[in-house]
Every structure is written in C-alpha cells, then in structure tokens.
Structure 1
Amino acid sequence: TEARRAGLKLKDYTFDFGFSSALLRAQKTLDLVLESAGHPKIPITYDAALNERMYGELQGLNKDETVLKYGAEQVKIWRRSYDIAPPGGESLKDTAQRVIPYYQNHIAPLLKQERNIIIAAHGNSLRALIMHLEDLNSEEILAFELGTAQPRCYTFNALLKLQTVAFI
C-alpha cells in the first residue's frame, strides 16, 4: 500500500511523537507508516482539528452527483476557492483556522524542544498546514499538488523558521 511504501522511505528517520486526525483512515495510515518504518511505538495524539475539510451537503456525493445537483461551475468554485464553503461545509480558509492554531498550540512547542514529529492527516488539512509552514498565499496553495502518503520532511531553526523541505 501507499502507507507501507511511505514507511519504507522513512526507515532512517526517528520520531518522538505522532499526530493524526481523529478519522480512522489517517490513524491506520500512521500505524502502517510507523510499522513499515520499523519504528518503536511512540506517543500518538489523535485530534479532530487535523480532520479533513468538511464538505457539508456535498459529503458522500461523488463528483458527478455533485455536478448534477449543483452545476459544474458552482462545484468548481467550491473546490477551487480558498474562502467559499459548500453549503453546511468548510472552506480551505475555515480548515486553516482550526489546523493552524492546533499546530501552534500542540505541535510547535514540541518542535521548539527539538522533537521529531510525524503527522498523518488529509489533503486539505495538510494543505492548510503547508500553507502556514511554507508561507504560501491562497492562490499558491490552491495550485499545490499534494500526493497521497508522500512524506515531506521539514527542518526548522530554534525560532521555528523553516530551513528546508525535503520530498522523501
């Protein structure tokens, strides 16, 4: 699986703490990655702040069903805008407003202690975090391609200023 391949790529890394969304698929991904990497059990925190963007009334509909119900242009607006949410759902901006404070309050303090962290989450919650970490604007993050189970390694200085991004 993709998660096992990602774990094999991370064999030479060590992690002190893990973070995952509260959704089962991210939890299973993190477990498979750590197992495949041969890492011992590490403390893992599961939190809904890292959950995927909520799509509201679009939840459970495939793209074709959504286009039939709302029209292709409206679906494109919801999918490709930073601050326009589908009915009852979240925009990427809304997602960032829960992911970034969680990062600042729970993950960044560990990074300041020079701890190595692994995070398993979802496309849009990771996109929100990447936007913050890499100082991308809303247009840049919407164009950003994020593959499934493709590890990215960030290094920071003592002030948590981003130093390097490695695609593993």
Structure 2
Amino acid sequence: MSKRTLFLLRHGEGAWNKENRFCSWVDQKLSEEGVAEARQCGLLLKEQGYRLDVVFASLLRRSIQTAWLLTEAMGDEWVPVVKSWRLNERHYGALIGLNRAELALNHGEEQVKLWRRSYNITPPPIDESHPYFFEIYNDRRYRTCDIPLEELPRAESLKQVLDRLLPFWYDVIVPEIQKGRTVLISGHGNSCRALLKHIEGISDDDIVGVTLPTGVPILLELDSDLKATKPHQLLGDQLQIQEAIKKVEDQGKAKKRN
C-alpha cells in the first residue's frame, strides 16, 4: 500500500501571538521570531530529506509569509502556493484583538479555555461596532471568495472551521495527495487542529487537549484512503516543542499584562 505524506504547519509566530492577543482574521505579519521559525522549518524539512510539491495557505499574510520563507529555505521557491480563505484561522468574533490573559482575569480561565479550545462553542459574534470589523470586511481579498461577502463568518466554533474547510480539503487538496504529491498546509492553530481532528478521528472531547505551537511541522503519513497509518509527529527538538506547547497553553491563564 503506497504511503502519502502530508505536513500541517501552524505559521510562524505573529506579532499578536507575541502580544497574546486574539488575532484571528486581522492581517498581522510575522514577528522576527516567526520569520526565523518559518526559515528553520524549511531547513529542517530539507535536512530530513523531504521535498514539497505544492503548498496551501490561507489568505492571511502570516500564513503566506511562512509558506514563502520555508520554500525559500528549502531552495524550492518555484513550488506553487495555493491560497484560500477556507484555510483562514478560526474567526474569534468579538474576542478579536483582546488579550487572552486579561480575558481570563475577567471571565475565568475555564471560560477562555472553552472559547479557545472547545469543539462546539462559538464566541460572541463580531459586529460593526467592533474596532476591526471594517478592516476585515472591507478588505478586497474577501471579495474573491467562493461565497458572497455577507455569508462569511462573524464568529466560529472549531466545528464550523472544519465545516468550511472540508470542501477545499476534498475538492482541491485531496486530489493532490492522491496523485502522490507531498503537500504542506501552511495554516493556523485552529485550521490545523480541525484537519488533524478530521484525519485522525480525534473525539470532540480530546481535541480540547491538542495544542499546536507555531513553526513546528506536523508529519502525517496517510494510506490510500487518506487515513493516518500512525499518530502524527511533531518534527524537531522534542524538549523545545514541549516548552513551546506549554507557552501556548499558558496564554489563557489569568495574568495581568506588564
């Protein structure tokens, strides 16, 4: 049985990751650390002998920048980068721009964990009074989508992320994998978690405990039915990866910002 190789990658650290704010659909660039993470990811894949045939990214620049930087580091700038809003980060609605630790201080760590990690719970929706509403919905990139602008989400649960992601997965990404091509998805924390849940059959309850650090490639080996042949692997220094996971998990703990 032939083996298919798929990589999921949460983009390198973004400016608002560093500030511990819900970034979501606000279009932030990578931080200096994020640029380094993206390049290191490309070098790691090259050192381990992997070659990419096609990369998929969201419409958000931190995802696109990551794709460009890692293919450059691999010496494979020619590899196509295909972009879609369906790979965008989860829409955090009215929480966009807020500091996670301060939110935990005001609403409790458990509530923030539910907003961040649960499968079915949707945060309060964004509306026109929100400071980033028009920055998002007046952006011309969202007039290129395969659905009307007014049908784009105003807030999403992880389940809703998976629902809007799956058509692109089956119609565009899966055919590339079935051709035997090595695919990398330069996505976001929640678009990658949603796909991981789908591919590995992770339960609604267990997905709460899945945390993905920035800039760490996730290797999935799939059979001809696109089922995982073994658990996914986070590639790189395992001690550093565990430290990075803890850092992400600690973002939702109640702590005043300095």
In 1, Cα distance between equivalents of 2:225 and 2:204? 24
Q: Does 1:160 align with 2:226?
A: yes
Contact 1:100 1:128 survives alignment (8 Å): no
Deviation of the 1:117 alpha carbon: 0.8
Q: Which residue of 2 aligns with 1:36?
A: 73
SS at match of 2:205: helix
Contact 2:199 2:226 survives alignment (8 Å): no
Contact 2:162 2:194 survives alignment (8 Å): yes
In 2, Cα distance between equivalents of 1:110 and 1:10? 19
In 2, Cα distance between equivalents of 1:68 and 1:132? 33
Q: Which residue of 2 aligns with 1:83?
A: 120
Deviation of the 1:100 alpha carbon: 2.3
What percent of counterpart residues are identical? 40
In 2, Cα distance between equivalents of 1:167 and 1:141? 16
Deviation of the 1:162 alpha carbon: 2.0
Q: Which amino acid is 2:118 matched to?
A: S
Deviation of the 1:155 alpha carbon: 2.2
In 2, Cα distance between equivalents of 1:40 and 1:46? 15
RMSD: 1.7
Q: TM-score, normalised by structure 1?
A: 0.91
Structure 1 segments of 4+ aligned residues over 6 angstroms from their partners = none
- Structure 2 spans left out of the alignment, 5+ residues: 1-35, 126-154, 236-258
Q: TM-score, normalised by structure 2?
A: 0.61
Equivalent runs, 1:50-129 vs 2, <5 Å: 50-67=87-104, 71-72=107-108, 73-88=110-125, 89-129=155-195
Contact 2:87 2:187 survives alignment (8 Å): yes
Q: Does 1:144 align with 2:238?
A: no
Q: Which amino acid is 1:109 matched to?
A: P
Q: 1:163 to 1:40 in 2, by over 3 A?
A: same
In 2, Cα distance between equivalents of 1:156 and 1:82? 24
- How many residues are aligned here? 167
Q: Which residue of 2 aligns with 1:2?
A: 37
Match of 1:135 among 201, 205, 220: 201
Question: Structure 1 stretch 73-82 or stretch 86-95: which is displaced more?
Answer: 73-82
Structure with larger Rg: 2
Structure with more contact order per residue of length (Cα contacts < 8 Å, sep ≥ 6): 2
Q: Does 1:19 align with 2:56?
A: yes
